[in-house]
Chains A and B, each alone.
Chain A
Amino acid sequence: MSSLAITTVDLARLQFATTSLYHFLFVPLTLGLAPLVAIMQTLWYRGGDEAWLRLARFFGTLMLINFAIGVATGLVQEFQFGMNWSIYSEFVGDVFGAPLAIEGLAAFMLESTFLGLWIFGWDRLSKRVHLATIWLFALGSWASAFFIIAANSWMQRPVGSTVTDGRAELTNVWELFSNRFGIWAYIHVLLVGLTTAAVVIFGVACWHLVRGRNQELFRHAAKLALIVGVPISAVNLGVGSQMGVVVTDYQPMKIASTEAQWDTCQPCSFSLFQIGGFTEDDQTPSFSIQIPHLLSILATLSWDGEVQGMNELQAADQSQYGAGDYIPPTRTTYWSMRIMAYAGTLVFLVFALGGFLYWRGRLASARWFLWLGVAAIPLPYLAALAGWVLSEVGRQPWIVWGLLKTADANSPSVSTATIATSLGTFVVLYAALLVVDVVLMRKYARVDPPEVGGDGDEFALPAVTY
C-alpha cells in the first residue's frame, strides 16, 4: 500500500516537472521579446527608421508563435494543482490562490487582450495607440511573472500567513508580495527573460549576417541585442549569485545540498567539479576541483563565512519536524546549479566577445563568431531549466518549506493509472507541439523581412496571415 502511494506521488511529481519545465521553455522568450519588440517599434515611431518597424514585425512573428504555445501550456499549470495535488490545494488555497487569481484577472487578461489588439490593430489604430498596445502587452507579461513568482516564493519561504485548523491562511498580503525571496527571484526571472530574448535576437541576426542577407537590417538587430545582452547577462550573474545568499538565509538545507556540503565548514571552498560525494553513504568525493573561500563569499558575502552542512541540518530538522529524510537529491541540486551557472557565464562571455568585435567593427566579418552566436541560442534555455530544477528539487522533501511535505500533498482520489494516462498524453502532445514549434520558429527566423509596403509586406503583417 505504501509503495503504491509513493508511486502516485512520484508520477504526480514527474508530470508537474515535465509540464512546468516545458511551459518555461516559452515563458522567458515572451518576457524578454515583449519589451524588446516594443522598443523596436518605439524606435521606429520616434525616429521613423523603417528598419526598426521591419524588425519589430519580424521578431513579433517569432514572439507570437512562441506565445501561442505558452498560453496553451499555461492552462495546464492553472488546472493541475487541483488535479494532482488536491491536499496541497486545500492546504494552500487561502494564500497561494490569491496571487494566481490576481495574475489571471489583472495581468494575463491585459497581456492576452492587448496582444490581440497589437496583432490585428496595425490598420485599425493610430500609430501612437498601436504602440501603446505592445507596451501594455509587455506590462501584462511582466506583471504576470510577478504574481506567479510571488506564489512560488511563498512555497520557498512562507510569509504573511499562519497555519490554522490544518490549513494555511493569509494574514498579510503585503508581506506575501514583498517577500524578500520573491523580489530577488522576480528580478532574476526578468533578467533571464531579457537575456534569453537578447540571445535569440543575436543568434538570428548572426545567422542572417553570416549568410550575407539583410546585412543592414540585422546589424541593427545585433546592436540592440548587444546593448541589452552585455550588461543584462552580467548583472544577471550577480543577481543569481545574490539568490544564493537569500537561499542561504531561508533554506540552508538547499544551499548545503547544492554545494554537496555534508559537514559545516568555515571558511568554505567552492567545488567546481567533483566525482562522488553525493549520498549519505559516500560523503567524500573521490575527485574534486575546489576554489578556497569562494563558497563562503557566494553564500554569505564574507571571506570566512560559515555554511552549515547537511549532517548538522538533518539532525536539527529531525528534532524540529520529527523523523524523516530532509536532504534533497544532492546529485541533482549540485549539477543543476553548475549547469545553470556555467551556461549563464558562457552567455555572458559570448556577449562580451560580441560587444568587443562590434566595437572594433569586425562583427560582420568574423564568420566563426557569427556561427558561435547561432550556436549559443540553446544556452539560456539550458540555464533557465536547470535553475528551476535546482529551485524545486532543492526544496524537497517540502512542497511548502517547513509546512507541508510533497509526499503528503497529492490527490488521494487519483490513481496511478489515471496519472500515468495523463502524463503519457502530455508527453505525446507536448513532443508533437515542440516539433511543430521548432520547425515554425526556424522557418520564420530565416525569412527575409519584407520591405514596408513592398510586395511581401502582407506576409509580414501577422494580422492578415490567418
Chain B
Amino acid sequence: MDLETFWFCLIAVVWAMYFLLEGFDFGVGMLLPFVPRNDAERGMTMRTIGPVWDGNEVWLVVAGGATFAAFPAWYATMFSGFYLALLLILFFLIVRVVSFEWRSKSETPRWRSTWTWANTIGSFGASLLWGIGLSCLVYGVPINSDGDFTGDLLDLFSPYSVFAGIAVVALFAFHGATFLTLRTAGELRARAEGAARKLAIPAAVLGSVYLVWTVAVAIDRNDKDVFPPALPAALGIVALALAIVFIYAGRSGRAFTMTALGTISLVATLFVSLYPRVMVSSTGFENSLTVDGAASSHYALQVMTVVALIFVPIVLLYQGWTYYVFRKRLGGDSPGAGPVETGPASGPV
C-alpha cells in the first residue's frame, strides 16, 4: 500500500474512532432530557461520559489536523466549501462543551434545564450535520477545475444527505442508549434499556437503508462497483440486526458491541465508497479531488507515518485504560448516592 492510501485509511480510522466514541456521547446527550427522571439522575447520566467526552472529542481535532497535514487540498476545499455547515457544527459543539462544565455550577432549576437542553441540542445538531457533511463527500458537491468549491449551503442538502443526517442521529441515540445500559444501575438502567428498546428498530432500519443507499450513490455518482462498498455495508446491517436481537434479549454488553460495530461500519462504508477520490465533484466528475492529487509530499507523509505509528497505539492504550478505570456502574436504588457496584461491567472498546 502506498503512503497516500495508508493515510486515507488512517483518516477513515480516525473518523471511525470519532463516530464510535463521540457517537455515544452525543447519544447520551440526546437522551438527557428523557431517560433520567430528576436532576440527580441527570447529573449521574452526564457523569457516565464525564471522564471521557473530552478525550473523545479530540479525535475530531486529530481528524482535522491529519487531513490538513496529509491532504491539504482536501482540507482546504472541504472546510471552505462546507463553511456554514461547519460554523453550525462549531456552534453546537461549543455550546455542548461548556454545558458539561457549567451545568453543575448553579443550583437553580432554570440554569440546570438551560444547560441540559444546550447539551441535548448541541449533540443533536452536531450529529445531524456530521451525517449530512460526510455523506456529501461521496454524493458530490460543485467543485471546479481548480479544485475550489463553487456552490453554497443548499448544495449540501439532497434527499440522500438529509436522510444520512437523520440516520446518524438515530444511530447515535441508539448507541448512546446501549452505552447507558452498560454504565448505569438500578432504575436508571432499566429506563436506559427501555429507551434502547424503543430506538433499536427505527435506528437499525434507518441505518440499514442509509448503508444500502450509500452503496447505490457510490455506484451511481462515484464510478464504483458493488464490491467492495457492499462488504462493510453488509457487515453494518448484520450488526444492527443483531443489536436489536441482543437488546431484546437483555444482553446489553453484546448490544453495545453491535451498535459500536454498526457505527464503525457506517464510516467504513462511506470511505470505501469514496476511495480513490476524497471529494466527488457534482459539476464535473473529472474535477473530483483524488487521494493522489490532494496528498502531501512523500517526506511529509513519511514523518507523519512515524508519528502515527508511535502515538496511535499509545493513545488507544491510555484511553482504553480510562474506560477500565471508570468501569463501575453509576446509580442504584438511592438517587444522588455515590457509585454502586452491581456486578461485572464490560468496558467499551
Contacts and interface: CB of A to CB of B under 8 A. Distances in A.
A83 B88 CA distance: 13
Interface of B: 43-44, 46-47, 50-55, 57-58, 60-62, 64-66, 68-73, 75-81, 83-84, 86-87, 90-91, 93-95, 97-98, 100-105, 148-150, 296-297, 299-300, 303-304, 307-308, 311-312, 315, 318-319, 322, 325-326, 328, 338
Interface of B is mostly: helix
14 contacts: A65-B105, A71-B57, A82-B80, A93-B69, A94-B297, A97-B296, A102-B307, A106-B311, A108-B61, A114-B318, A116-B53, A116-B322, A429-B91, A433-B98
A170 B325 contact: no
Contacts of A108: 58, 61
A170 B300 contact: yes
Contact of B307 (A76, A87, A106, A167): A106
Contacts, number: 232
B102 A440 contact: yes
Interface of A: 64-65, 68-69, 71-76, 78-79, 81-84, 86-87, 89-98, 100-106, 108-110, 112-117, 119-121, 124-125, 164, 167, 169-171, 173, 411-414, 418, 421-422, 425, 429, 433, 436, 440, 443-444, 463-466
B81 A413 contact: yes
Contacts of A170: 296-297, 299-300, 303
Nearest to B93: A75
A64 B102 CA distance: 10
Summarize A's interface: helix, strand, loop or mixed: helix
Contacts of B150: 413
A119 B50 contact: yes
B149 A413 contact: yes
B103 A171 contact: no
Given A413-B80, A413-B81, A109 B55 contact: yes
Given A65-B101, A109-B319, A169-B296, 16 more contacts: A75-B94, A76-B94, A78-B65, A79-B79, A87-B76, A89-B68, A89-B76, A94-B69, A94-B296, A97-B296, A98-B303, A101-B62, A101-B66, A105-B315, A117-B322, A443-B105
A133 to B, nearest CB: 10
A64 B54 CA distance: 12
A169 B297 contact: yes
A422 B300 contact: no
B179 to A, nearest CB: 16
A28 B50 CA distance: 24
A112 B55 contact: yes
B141 to A, nearest CB: 11
B80 A84 contact: yes
B75 A97 contact: yes
Contacts of B79: 79, 81-83, 86, 89
B16 to A, nearest CB: 15
Contacts of A78: 61, 64-65
A114 B317 CA distance: 13
Nearest to B45: A466
Contacts of B93: 72, 75
B101 A90 contact: no
A116 B50 contact: yes
* Central interface residue in B101, B150, B304, B328, by most chain A CB within 10 Å: B101
A125 B207 CA distance: 39
B215 to A, nearest CB: 29
B300 A412 contact: no
A79 B58 contact: no
Nearest to B99: A68
A105 B98 CA distance: 22
Contact of B62 (A105, A167, A443): A105
Nearest to B298: A169
B47 A466 contact: yes
Nearest to A172: B299
Given A124-B326, A440-B105, A98 B69 contact: yes
A164 B297 CA distance: 10
Contacts of B149: 413
